[in-house]
Amino acid sequence: MICTVTLNPSLDYTVELEQLQPGGLNRTRTESVRPGGKGLNVALMLNRLGQPVRALAFAAGYTGHMLAGQLADAGLPAELLWAREGMTRINVKVKAGEETEINGRGPVLGPSHLEELASRLAVLEEGDWVVLAGSLPAGLPDDTYARLLMPLTARGVRAVVDAEGAVLSAALTAHPFLIKPNRPELEALAGRALSTREELFDAARTLQEKGAANVLLSLGGEGAALLTSSGERLFCPAPQGKAVDTVGAGDSMVAGFLSGWLTTGRWAEALRMGVAAGSASAFSPWIARREQVWALYDSVLI
């Protein structure tokens, strides 16, 4: 079983304008509303790649009900945990030459919410997978992922963490199977710019020393790199294509990597599938379809 967890999902409201006039009337050229949140994006891509997945997420208010409906329409009936106060956040993305983002706050979660989540995760057994991805909502401490993971990894559940900063640093103490920082996140943790591939791998090895088994580096248009628990270093350039919307591309990479690993058990094939899935989503308006991923797969080389 693969279980994804999204503590602070969203509705992503994206509008495109000819130009943005602050203080004036602006009319959209195109607009869309889609479910958002890193864990949900991972679950959507896993689902499209044919991997059974259980998607857990918190929701609140009327926007939470809209999120549930949109996920069902996308073929992913998520298992939502409801917060009584607040509402599922709305993230506004304004595209007018350059992109401006306004992210909502979301509901405030507390210890009782985490206890409910932990009870849902308690059914996971040795050999199962859990993916914790995204930022924490207000009210939760930086070690939230670590505390959720400790009892799971202790009994053989394999964990994947896609977070940043103090949240990721704390999660390393739970010894996740895989983490996926991007270049800016890795540089922030390293405290310096990382300009060469050697420097990237050295910084990734530091994260291994702190607890991560394998480190998948998302490098945007450059592709991705992987440092395995055995010290193997793999690099995979991104295929050629025009980026349409990079939101969800890194999450799709995580899902593609997991799907490739579960299907073949080989690092190179997992990395190829990860880059194919991430690139396919970057070349699409939203999370790519299965056929779009496979259309790119043969052009992705380690």
State the catalytic residues. Answer: 251
What is the phi-psi region of residue 205: left when phi exceeds 0, alpha when psi lies from -120 to 50, beta otherwise?
alpha
Going 41 to 47 to 51 to 56, the CA torsion angle's sign is: positive
Enumerate helices (H) and strands (E) in the chain, giving the number of each: 10, 13
User: In angstroms, how far is CA 213 from the centroid of its own chain?
Assistant: 18
Q: Are 37 and 9 in contact (CB under 8 A)?
A: yes
Contacting residues for 195 by C-beta, under 8 A, at least 6 apart: none
SS3 172: helix
* Residue 100, φ and ψ in degrees, nearest 5: -115, 135
Contacting residues for 124 by C-beta, under 8 A, at least 6 apart: 1, 3, 130, 152, 157
Pick the closest to residue 29 from 39, 40, 20, 37 (CA basis): 20
* Residue 128, φ and ψ in degrees, nearest 5: -80, 170
Token couple for 224? 């991705």
**H-run or E-run covering 226:** strand 223-227
**H-run or E-run covering 42:** helix 38-48
